[in-house]
Chains A and B, each alone.
Chain A
Amino acid sequence: MPLMGFVQQIGTGALVTIQVAVLAYLLALLIGTLFALATLKRRLVVNIAWQTYASIFTGVPSLLVAFLFYYAGSGIISSVLSLAGLNVTIDISPFMAAVAALGMVYGAYLADLIRSAIQNVPPGQFEATKVLLIPRPAAWVLVILPQVLRLALPGMTNMWIVVLKDTALISLIGLKEIMAYAKLASGVTKEPFIYYLLASAFFLGMTALTYFVSQRIEQWTRRGYRPVAVKGPAHAL
């Protein structure tokens, strides 16, 4: 039988895992959206910045990025701030390093996903909003975004699951998340199977929940679309 104390710790760890994953994913969405919008048109400077960013953060394993942020982040930030004449030191906690690392790595992947979704919205949709004099922000939020969501949702769901599972690696920088506690409990009780099983059950549960929620969202984004199999001169796709 698992000991209640350890189970409780694993529960606490699970909460930390969820916090890291959610914050990292939100950061990734923000970075991904900004890069996607910035790289829609060919602009040399922006594209060089994007290429550099993408090759670093998709080339270096996320765990390594987290290590770099954890051990060097504090130094980097204070030297940047000292350039601005500020003399402060900011301590980087494992939590912050984990969120920043996962957010920036998966932001690079999401940028590609979101850009191609935007590019797959038929150009006629943009043109219709123009001739109808819809203000640009409203056109993006109310016309383009729902269609981008519909196209990008499957990829975004997968990416969320990958981010969630990648948090398990980040225990190596000392973050007290679910893996760290499972490992601790296994070591103390010499019953690794049961605690690792519990941790696995958590990830499985989260994945199941993810698919449930994403299906709901997908139904919402697909309203108005016929099944692909049905033929007909629907809106230009």
Chain B
Amino acid sequence: MNAIAHVSPVVATSADPALPPAISLRKLNKYYGAFHALRDVDFEVANSEIVVLCGPSGSGKSSLIRCINHLEQHDSGTVHVNGMELTRKAADVARVRRQLGMVFQGFNLFPHMTVLANCTFALRLALHMTTPQAEGVAREYLAKVNVLDQAEKFPAELSGGQQQRVAIARALCLQPSVMLFDEPTSALDPESVGSVLRIMEDLAATGITMVCVTHEMGFARRVAHRCVFMEKGEIVEQAPTDQFFRKPTSSRLQRFLKQVL
């Protein structure tokens, strides 16, 4: 049994042709001023698929992930999440974000709220649950990421790994159908990394769709269905995980893998 039984709406399989892909980016371009950060990126993620994004620093991994939930605005191309187009309209942005959970490298927990309050905050203010309802949901997810015993503490009183697990629980509380991770373990001490990766692994087994930017190649090998390599704002190579590591075709990916493995 998995530690996390995800209660997202009926889990679809990638084989189901009736359902639109979880994420679909077409000819996506993103500029920061004159700097061209994403160049005509086409990227698709099927329902329940686990995708790992990797590439050297500055290759545009964060930009790609942040264009999906509109933390950055794309300049051209289209973003669809579960078939809904992400436009600049506030209603569309909200509808798309409702599908997505996001975990940041720096946790971004609210420092002045307890762990429990961090998790109930959105349930109360965005989903209008009553406090007891919200606390029920929050405790359920805190238990699943093994930090229920820390519920009354403030984030700064927790280890980095515990904080990141709280952040995962906080995102899961809203029952997103897709989880986005941007280097969730890069800010952690080595002992904490494992605890977070284990939670992500459990989560992956629940059928939720996941896009993870990570340098943890062991995690990618064990968990990812597909790996994507980016460089200079472009997707250079992508392949099913096994093939990605065994038979990389581009020389740039071969060089990259040599460095990180």
A and B from one complex? yes
Query: How many residues on the B side are at the interface (Cβ–Cβ under 8 A)?
Result: 36
- Tell me the nearest residue of chain B to A235, going by C-beta: B111
Q: Report which of B108, B112, B160 forms a contact with A128, defined as CB distance below 8 A.
A: B108
Q: Report which of B97, B155, B170 forms a contact with A234, defined as CB distance below 8 A.
A: B155
Is A125 within 8 A of B110, CB to CB? yes
- Tell me the nearest residue of chain B to A128, going by C-beta: B108
Interface residues of A in 124-159 (CB under 8 A from B): 124-125, 127-128, 130-135, 138, 142-143, 146-147, 150
With a cutoff of 8 Å between Cβ atoms, the chain A residues found around residue B170 in the complex are 132
Interface locus among A30-38, A65-73, A170-178, A225-233: A225-233
With a cutoff of 8 Å between Cβ atoms, the chain A residues found around residue B188 in the complex are 233
With a cutoff of 8 Å between Cβ atoms, the chain B residues found around residue A124 in the complex are 104, 106-108
Is B106 within 8 A of A236, CB to CB? yes
Complex formed: what's the CA distance from A138 to B174 in Å? 17
Complex formed: what's the CA distance from A225 to B104 in Å? 20
Q: Is B125 an interface residue (CB 8 A)?
A: yes
Is B108 within 8 A of A130, CB to CB? no
Query: How many residues on the A side are at the interface (Cβ–Cβ under 8 A)?
Result: 27
With a cutoff of 8 Å between Cβ atoms, the chain A residues found around residue B101 in the complex are 131
Interface residues of B in 89-109 (CB under 8 A from A): 94, 97-98, 100-102, 104, 106-109
With a cutoff of 8 Å between Cβ atoms, the chain A residues found around residue B156 in the complex are 224-226, 232, 234-235
Interface string of A53-83 (1 = CB under 8 A from B): 0000000000000000000000000000000
Q: Is A192 an interface residue (CB 8 A)?
A: no
Complex formed: what's the CA distance from A232 to B160 in Å? 8
A-B contacts besides A142-B125, A233-B187, 8 pairs, CB < 8 Å: A131-B69, A131-B100, A142-B121, A224-B114, A225-B156, A233-B163, A235-B106, A235-B107
List residues of chain B with CB under 8 Å of any chain A CB.
Answer: 69-71, 94, 97-98, 100-102, 104, 106-114, 121-122, 125-126, 154-157, 159-160, 163, 170-171, 174, 187-189
